[in-house]
């Protein structure tokens, strides 16, 4: 009897926490500069949460050190639901596999929901002779070491996704790292570098203008920003399916009831046609998960990036 009473009391307390939350403004720490994809995606959701929950969800940019400064700030914040993290692949899934971070990416946070998948696309200069993905693979495979691929930086998501594609397709090409996506794509447009797997957001305008040619998107399902472009894995005949991610997390110890309420409201927000259209315009695909689903997803992601980094022997310059 005492056990039943205790359980009922706990359920009542949990319900009270969920119903009373939030009762003051909530900070959403964005560990990137204003205008970056994570910043924009998180702000769109924050605006929806503000309307749905009656308290301000205020995005606060804390950029620096590849996103680790703002991420660490949240890791060391109180787990009360009033400081949230606009989380993303770089600081959470990739960086801990490349260098020591001041936070434990899997244990210092309480996942809430993924909010977007970030698809990538294989692009080449329009003059490249291959008509499709299989012809592209055949040409590069027949000439090991002849061709080059660019990325937005050593260890960047574009670098890892291109290395993954190269490995699965059996390609040998030389990596040319740049400081940012714009420069990495510019030298493909100019014919200085052969190819890359870069974000749809960065590449789509050049594809639509004819300055770049594409052989497929990195995800198995179509992406809203390039609905007529095939899945690269299917077009190439390999099991290639890759996307970066953006999500919401909280500090470890945040009440589960708060996490679940936020997750439910985010799911409702992402069902909005207007929000989905805004995401597509940004080159993002809306995705919603439960806290448990995001927790399992993050563990799989860290394992996947660790395998890519080990296989390609990627090391950051010290």
**Is the domain of 218 the same as that of 134?**
yes
CATH number for position 43: 3.40.190.150
pLDDT digits (tens, 9 = 90+) for 45-98: 999 999 999 999 999 999 999 999 999 999 999 999 999 999 999 999 999 999
Omega before residue 22 within 30° of 0, cis: yes
How many whole angstroms separate alpha carbon 85 and alpha carbon 306? 23
Residues 142 and 221 grouped into a single domain: yes
Residues 227 and 148 in one domain: yes
Q: Cα(200)–Cα(189) distance, rounded to whole angstroms?
A: 15
- The CATH number covering residue 130 comes to 3.40.190.10
- Print the domain residue range for 288: 24-117+244-306
**pLDDT band, very low/low/confident/very high, at 11 (cuts 50, 70, 90):** very low
pLDDT (tens digit per residue) in 253-300 = 999 999 999 999 999 999 999 999 999 999 999 999 999 999 999 999
Confirm whether 15 is domain-assigned.
no
Question: What is the per-residue pLDDT across 213-240, written as a single tens digit (0 to 9) for each?
Answer: 999 999 999 899 999 999 999 999 999 9
Per-residue pLDDT reduced to its tens digit, 183-220: 999 999 999 999 999 999 999 999 999 999 999 999 99
Helix (H, G, I), strand (E, B) or coil at 301: helix
Of the candidates 259, 291, 256, 264, which has an alpha carbon nearest to the alpha carbon of residue 14? 256
Residue 73 counted as domain residue: yes
The answer on 227 and 170 residing in a single domain is yes
End position of a domain, from candidates 204, 236, 268: 236
Instruction: Report if residue 5 sits inside a domain.
Output: no
On whether residue 2 sits in a domain, the answer given is no
Predicted TM-score (pTM) of the model is 0.91
């Amino acid at each position: 009897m005492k056990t039943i009473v205790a359980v009922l009391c706990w359920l009542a307390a949990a319900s009270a926490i969920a119903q009373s939350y939030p009762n003051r403004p909530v900070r959403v720490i964005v560990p990137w500069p204003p205008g970056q994809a994570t910043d924009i995606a998180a702000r769109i959701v924050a605006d929806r949460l503000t309307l749905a929950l009656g308290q301000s969800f205020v995005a606060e940019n804390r950029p620096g050190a590849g996103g680790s400064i703002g991420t660490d700030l949240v890791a060391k914040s109180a787990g009360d639901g009033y400081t949230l993290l606009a989380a993303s692949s770089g600081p959470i899934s990739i960086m801990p596999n490349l260098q020591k971070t001041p936070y434990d990416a899997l244990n210092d946070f309480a996942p809430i929901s993924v909010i977007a998948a970030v698809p990538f696309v294989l692009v080449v200069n329009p003059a490249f002779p291959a008509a499709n993905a299989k012809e592209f693979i055949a040409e590069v495979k027949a000439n090991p070491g002849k061709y080059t691929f660019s990325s937005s930086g050593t260890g960047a998501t574009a670098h890892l996704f291109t290395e993954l594609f190269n490995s699965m397709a059996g390609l040998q090409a030389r990596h040319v790292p740049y400081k940012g996506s714009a420069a990495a794509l510019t030298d493909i447009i100019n014919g200085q570098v052969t190819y890359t797997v870069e974000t749809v957001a960065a590449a789509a305008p050049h594809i639509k203008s004819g300055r770049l040619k594409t052989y497929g998107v990195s995800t198995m399902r179509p992406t809203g920003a390039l609905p007529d472009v095939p899945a690269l894995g299917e077009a190439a005949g390999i099991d290639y399916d890759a996307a970066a991610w953006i999500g919401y997390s909280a500090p470890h110890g945040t009440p589960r009831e708060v996490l679940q309420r936020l997750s439910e409201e985010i799911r409702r927000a992402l069902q909005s046609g207007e929000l989905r259209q805004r995401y597509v315009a940004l080159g993002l695909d809306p995705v919603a998960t439960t806290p448990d689903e995001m927790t399992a997803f993050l563990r799989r992601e860290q394992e996947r990036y660790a395998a890519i980094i080990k296989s390609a022997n990627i090391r950051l310059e010290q």
